[in-house]
Each structure stands twice: as C-alpha cells, then as structure tokens.
Chain A
Amino acid sequence: MRIGTVLRPALVLLLLALVLRPAWFTPVFAPFAPQGGPVIYDRVSLLSLSLSHLGLVAAASAAATLIAVTLAILVTRPAGAAFRPLSRTITNMGQTFPPVAVLALAVPALGFGAGPTLVALFLYGLLPIFENAIAALSTLPPATMEAARGIGLNRWQRLVRVELPLALPVILTGIRLSVVIALGTATIGSTVAARTLGEVIIAGLLTNNTAYVLQGGLIVGLFAVLIYDALVQLEVRLARRIGAQSS
C-alpha cells in the first residue's frame, strides 16, 4: 500500500512527461538511436497517438463487455443453459485465433484503418469477460438468491438488484484482463494503418531505431500498468463492501 502511494503518482508523472514532453528524454534514449539518426519520434504527436490507441481499446472493450456479459446472463438463465457449451466454444475460438490472422482476414472486408483492429481487439477481449461473468453469475450465494425470490423480486429485479451487483467484482476482473490484453494487442493494429502507439514501435523496427521501440513500448507498458492498477483498486473497493460473506 505504502509503496503504491509513492509509486503510483511517480508513474503517472513519468507517463505524462513521455507523452507530452518527449524531448525531455533525448539524453535517455540517445544511446539507443542509430548514429546521427533521430532519437525522439516526432512524425505525429504522441498525445494524439495515445488518445487514438486508448480510444480503440475502450471502444473494443466496451463492446466486448456488453456482448460477453449479455451472453453470460443469457446462458446462466434456465432457458439459456443449453447454449452454454456452444457459446463457450465460440468465445474460446475468438481467443485461439492469432490477432495477426484476424487482421489479415478482416482487411479485405473492412479495408485498412481502425476497423480490422477493432474486430481483433473485440474478439480477443470476449473470452476473459465471458468466463468470469459466467463464473460469477453461477456461484452466487444460494441463501441470498433464495431470499431474493422469497421476498417477491421478479426475474428482472433479481438480475439488476442482486445478481449483477454481487457478480460485479468478478466481472470487473475479467474486464481488467481483457483491457490489458487489448492495450498490448492494439499495437499491431498499426500494421494495417490503425493509429495506435504501435506506429512508434513499428517505425523503430523498420529503421533499426531501438530508441523508438523503447519509447513506444514504455508508453504502452505504463498505460497498461496504471489502468490495471486503477481497476484493481476499483475491484477491491467493491469487494470490500460485499465483504467476507457469512453464509
């Protein structure tokens, strides 16, 4: 905890500096740049790349959350139980398909740009959220569920007032895993001309400029660490409220 209170603001400041004032880091990255070559990536503003990167991740994760949670709700109802194996197979396939292959397949259909990247991130994000939502919704405390029926909540009220709030911390864990995967995976979107921080890394690879690669990698990594941490904090807060359940 105490380490976190010091480290967290430090990392936020570091990230802000890297994105907003990349020139400050010239001495740090200079040793990794080719002789006489550029040290700091300045073809596009890193801020706009970061925003576009985060935007893609947010859009794909939001869509994945919506679909995965809806699907999990459906297959945990008595009427939907029969579809559970099938839906698990489908989301598992989303995960086993390499993202590069998804990109390659999606380009002919969607053209270059953000489209194929969104599709790949979306498919990739489904599984962790879906699996966690199913686990959470099918292991709710039985006495609480019985009481929810017993006092006269209808199906919808039970779902909204009891099941989802109780399942939320575990669903959030799934969303967190999915978002972190997406933050990393989004970098390859730049191979099909999506505007992401991958652009910096790829530029570095193409020109043999390790400084670019480090710069891009560091920014993506810091985003991932900080977002992961923020979501963990949120989960802890929610779970603490629900508390050590005495069943």
Chain B
Amino acid sequence: MIEIDRITKTYNGVRAVDSVTMTVETGTITVIVGTSGSGKTTLLRMINRLEEPSSGEVRINGESTLAVKPHILRRRIGYAIQGHGLFPHHTVARNIAAVPELLNWSADKIRARVDELLTLFSMEPATFRDRYPAALSGGQQQRVGVARALASRPDLLLMDEPFGALDPVIRTRAQEDLRRIQQQLGSTIMLVTHDMEEAMRLGDRVAVMDAGRLVQHGTPAEIITRPATDFVASMVGEVERPLRLLSLVPVSDLVEAGTAEGEALQVGASLRDALSACLWTGRSAVPVEQDGRRVGRVTFDAIRARARVHP
C-alpha cells in the first residue's frame, strides 16, 4: 500500500503539487490524468524522491520513503520516464539489464530476463538485443524504456506517459500486455497519461489532477458518472460519457438466454463493442461466445437500458 500524505511541491512560490493525499492499494493500477502542467510528473517524481517534497511524505507499506537512501529506494521502484531516457551508449540488452545489474543478478538470469521482456513487447530478441537506441524507432525506444522499468520485477512501477509515442494499434497491445503482466505479477502501478481513454482502459482507480490539486480519485465508473468538478466532466467529455461507461462493462454482465444471428462476441468484450456490432450490422442482438461455445446473446435494448443506469 502506498500512502501519499499531504504532499506539496513549491517552485518559486508556486505550488506545482498542492497538498495531494491519496492511498494506492497493492496490486492495482492507478492512472493519473490531467492537463499539461497540472503536476502529474512532479507528483510521480516525489514518490521515488527524484524530487524532494516541500512538505508531506510518502509511505510504502507503512515505511516512510525518507527512511532509506534515495538511490536504494529507486532500485526497488521501476521508473519509465516521459521520453524513455535510454542510455545511448549501451545496447538494448544492457539498457534493459541496468537495474538487474545493479542488484547483482547472475549473467544467465539477466540474459533470460532481457529476452523474455523483448518478446513480451513484440521485439524479436535476436534482432534487437545488440542494437543501440539510436537504431530504434521512437515506439521501439519507448517499449525498451518500459522493459527497463519492469526488468527487476519491482513491486511498484511508476510510469510517465509510457505509451505516448506508440501508434494506436501497438498502443492498445502494449496496454493489454501491461495489464496482463501486472495481473500476473500483482505489481502496483502508478501511470501518468493525457489520454482519458487509456485511463479508463487501464485504471482500477483514476486520479484527476488540476493545477496541482487532486480533484477526484475514484473508479473509472465514478469518474464518468459522478464527476466531482466541471473540470473532471470536461476531461471525460459529455458526448463520450455513455460510450466510456459502456466500455467499462463486460458483455458477460448482460448475457441472457436466447439466440441471435451473425458473428459472435467473446464474453470478455465490452458493451461498447456489442453496441458497435449492433449498429454496424443493423442487428438487435448479438450472440455471445465463451471458449468457442455459444452461451447466449446480448440485446440492443439491454445495452440501452444499461447505459441509462448510472451506478
């Protein structure tokens, strides 16, 4: 559990982060959203003490981060920086191995881990292992930056716009990979983004920042249905609200007995996918499939009704 306790950072009398208090549960993803300059990066950097707070403190599992030397603290916390920050004079493999090397892992274990991570991020190890960062595309550099942060399997991961330079297809896949890795390892992630869509897709909790203040901290559904301020409402976007909400609900919630024509959806798909399928093919219901077997259907009417129930 990470407790952020009235943490404040003042630059020349201006509060970049203004008395932020929040608790992050172990094994969850918290996404911090906000406009440019709202203090997201500064908040993140105070957690691993790249920036010393002007006041307030952070506790990880009850222990104050001030109790350990900063560089020791940072080796336990994965950090993917805004704009990757790879070491240009080291190969991809050495970049990823940076923290395991500091922690004195054996060479075999490091090599296996590097290849595992490259594969995970769809980068063929044999092709990319020995390249220098200058010979990678922007998106590849960013993925190597994230791989470096994950390398030592840290309990806590701080990620500052890790997918900013990725194209939509790779971005969606990287988000799914991150979700999967996070669930496998049970790690705690705090991730900064500009993108509400990303926040909704990844976050167990979403924290909205505005001018240094934490204006709302809640589940994606809460943020959408009960925005605390006009600013939060505008971040969510009035027009997108119903669709964002539907994208949070899995089809399995509304599955009912019965049959329907046409291509089936998987139970894991969202109601937004189901709605889209209905609209695109003019159907009033779509069949639902689990492990290749039809388990029922979801109807257009049920989706419409669900969109009106605001939890």
Chain A interface residues toward B at CB < 8 A: 141, 143-154, 157, 162, 165-166, 241-247
A154 touches B81 (CB 8 A): no
**Interchain pairs with CB closer than 8 A, number:** 77
Question: Contacts of A243 on B, CB cut-off 8 Å?
Answer: 88, 132-135
In the complex, how many angstroms separate the beta carbon of B67 from the nearest chain A beta carbon? 16
In the complex, how many angstroms separate the beta carbon of B152 from the nearest chain A beta carbon? 9
Given contacts A150-B48, A162-B87, contact A244 B79 (CB under 8 A): no
B75 touches A152 (CB 8 A): yes
Question: Contacts of B73 on A, CB cut-off 8 Å?
Answer: 152
Docked Cα-Cα span, A162 to B98, in Å, equals 11
Question: Contacts of A162 on B, CB cut-off 8 Å?
Answer: 87, 89
B133 touches A149 (CB 8 A): no
Given contacts A243-B132, A243-B134, contact A151 B141 (CB under 8 A): no
In the complex, how many angstroms separate the beta carbon of B261 from the nearest chain A beta carbon? 51
Docked Cα-Cα span, A247 to B41, in Å, equals 18
Q: Which residue of A lies closest to B69 (CB)?
A: A154
Q: Which of B62-82 contact A (CB under 8 A)?
A: 71-76, 79, 81-82
Q: DSSP majority for the B interface? A: helix
Given contacts A245-B88, A246-B141, contact A151 B132 (CB under 8 A): no
Beyond the given A152-B74, A157-B102, A242-B89, please list 17 additional residue pairs across the A-B interface where CB-CB is below 8 A: A141-B88, A143-B82, A146-B85, A147-B81, A147-B86, A149-B74, A150-B81, A151-B75, A151-B148, A152-B72, A153-B102, A166-B88, A241-B132, A242-B132, A243-B132, A243-B134, A246-B134
B99, CB-defined interface residue at 8 Å:
yes
Chain B interface residues toward A at CB < 8 A: 48, 50, 71-76, 79, 81-89, 98-99, 102, 132-135, 138, 141, 145, 148
Docked Cα-Cα span, A151 to B72, in Å, equals 9
Show 14 residue pairs from A and B whose CB-CB distance is below 8 angstroms, ordered by the A residue. A141-B88, A143-B82, A143-B83, A147-B79, A147-B81, A147-B87, A148-B87, A152-B74, A152-B76, A152-B99, A157-B102, A165-B89, A241-B89, A246-B134
Question: Contacts of A144 on B, CB cut-off 8 Å?
Answer: 85-88
Q: Which residue of A lies closest to B48 (CB)?
A: A150
B98 touches A151 (CB 8 A): yes
Docked Cα-Cα span, A151 to B82, in Å, equals 14
